[in-house]
């Protein structure tokens, strides 16, 4: 992990991640290959040209500086992947956010975290139970993470606000959502910790919430679901947690209540049945709240052996289509070395020719 980034490099990294077509995966590849934000920015035009398209519009240094100043005026700060204090468990996932904006007590990031999520239209009994769970966990040193949505999320934050809660929001730090949680959001930004991936001024849209959910799942050693419909965002969070190798737990409910179907389905599929805070702590005892050494962006690496040529680009392009294909399958079918495939995909992504999907899949843009 970097010992600390100088102001010029922080500005370059912010410009890089705010550049269109550069998401967390592309950012990670660029940083590993070029070693710094400044070097990656300089390489973008050539990489996009090799991918067969025009370079994306890179934000100016003034624009990035304005964002940093705006966050500071709000009382927040940027935290870049690779800087001291970046959440270690979140750092382990492939789609870890290159930069977070934080407001509140950053020392809470040192605590082991547990996510509690669930239905927005939760029953009164489920809201009470979620609040009790969160209170019990926070009193015993756990940081309770949720998404500040109505229902179960709100109950989890209310139950843990006195001892340790963290809210991950889908918009910018200055956006209040939902409106009825304005007082709670401001309280969390003072006594707890508020986290956003989007820059200030961003209003939450439907597409933002799955990205928010991956952060919730990535921050926590385990995810607890308290009431959820079978196709809800809470189940998306739980499945992401499973993909990240974290514990998935669920509170059982009546088969007659549609709001319990998602939790009962998770239990049937192998999630741990939860009836108390003690059950959660016992389930996570092998992890014990410890966090692995953060990976960061890694040291600068030499370019992979054998740069991609036009024949490799053509072979990979022929295998791609509108249906998302796992990158592992692309490597297998093309017979091309994995580093070369990853570099070609990066070129295509910067050229605006492909789109990345969850689960390490890619497709042609239609």
Residues facing residue 80 across a β-bridge: 99
pLDDT of residue 366: 82
pLDDT of residue 73: 97
pLDDT of residue 359: 80
pLDDT of residue 318: 94
Q: How many C-beta atoms surround the C-beta of residue 311 within 10 A?
A: 9
- In this structure, are residues 101 and 68 in contact, taking their beta carbons and an 8 Å threshold? no
Query: Could you list the pLDDT tens digit for every one of the 366 residues in the chain?
Result: 345 789 999 999 999 999 999 999 999 999 999 999 999 999 999 999 999 999 999 999 999 999 999 999 999 999 999 999 999 999 999 999 999 999 999 999 999 999 999 999 999 999 999 999 999 999 999 999 999 999 999 999 999 999 999 999 999 999 999 999 999 999 999 999 999 999 999 999 988 999 999 999 999 999 999 999 998 999 999 999 999 999 999 999 999 899 999 999 999 999 999 999 999 999 998 644 443 333 344 433 434 434 678 899 999 999 999 999 999 999 999 999 999 999 999 999 999 999 998 788 999 998
State pLDDT tens for residues 68-90.
Answer: 999 999 999 999 999 999 999 99
State pLDDT tens for residues 168-180.
Answer: 999 999 999 999 9
pLDDT of residue 201: 94
pLDDT of residue 305: 39
Half-sphere exposure of 34 (CA within 13 A, CB side): 21
Q: Which long-range contacts (CB under 8 A, 24 or more apart) does 289-295 make?
A: 289/111, 289/112, 289/141, 289/142, 289/221, 290/112, 291/88, 291/89, 291/112, 292/88, 292/89, 292/92, 293/88, 294/1, 294/86, 294/88, 294/91, 294/92, 295/1, 295/91, 295/92
pLDDT of residue 299: 37
CA end-to-end span of the chain, whole Å?
38
pLDDT of residue 286: 65
């Amino acid at each position: 992990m970097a010992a600390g980034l100088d102001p010029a490099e922080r500005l370059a990294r912010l410009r890089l991640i705010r550049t269109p077509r550069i998401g967390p995966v592309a950012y990670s590849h660029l940083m590993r290959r070029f070693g710094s934000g400044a070097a990656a920015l300089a390489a973008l035009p050539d990489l996009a040209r090799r991918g067969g398209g025009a370079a994306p519009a890179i934000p100016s240094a003034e624009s990035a500086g304005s964002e940093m100043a705006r966050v500071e005026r709000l009382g927040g700060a940027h935290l870049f992947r690779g800087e001291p204090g970046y959440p270690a468990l979140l750092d382990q996932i492939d789609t870890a956010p290159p930069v977070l904006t934080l407001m509140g007590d950053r020392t809470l990031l040192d605590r082991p975290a547990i996510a509690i999520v669930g239905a927005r239209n939760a029953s009164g009994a489920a809201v009470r139970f979620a609040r009790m769970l969160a209170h019990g966990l926070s009193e015993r040193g756990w940081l309770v993470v949720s998404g500040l949505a109505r229902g179960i999320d709100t109950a989890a934050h209310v139950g843990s606000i006195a001892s340790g809660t963290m809210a991950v929001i889908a918009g910018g730090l200055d956006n209040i959502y939902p409106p009825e949680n304005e007082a709670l959001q401001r309280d969390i930004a003072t006594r707890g910790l508020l986290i956003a991936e989007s820059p200030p001024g961003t209003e939450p849209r439907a597409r933002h919430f799955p990205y928010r959910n991956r952060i919730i799942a990535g921050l926590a050693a385990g995810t607890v679901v308290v009431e959820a419909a079978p196709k809800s965002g809470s189940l998306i969070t739980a499945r992401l947690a499973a993909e990240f190798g974290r514990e998935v737990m669920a509170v059982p409910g009546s088969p007659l209540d549609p709001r319990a179907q998602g939790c009962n389905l998770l239990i049937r599929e192998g999630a741990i049945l939860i009836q108390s805070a003690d059950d959660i702590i016992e389930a996570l005892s092998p992890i014990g709240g410890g966090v692995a050494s953060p990976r960061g962006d890694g040291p600068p690496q030499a370019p992979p052996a054998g740069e991609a040529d036009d024949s490799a680009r053509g072979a990979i392009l022929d295998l791609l289509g509108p249906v998302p294909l796992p990158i592992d399958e692309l490597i297998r079918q093309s017979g091309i070395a994995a580093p070369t495939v990853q570099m070609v995909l990066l070129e295509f992504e910067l050229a605006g020719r492909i789109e990345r999907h969850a689960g390490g899949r890619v497709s042609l843009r239609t």
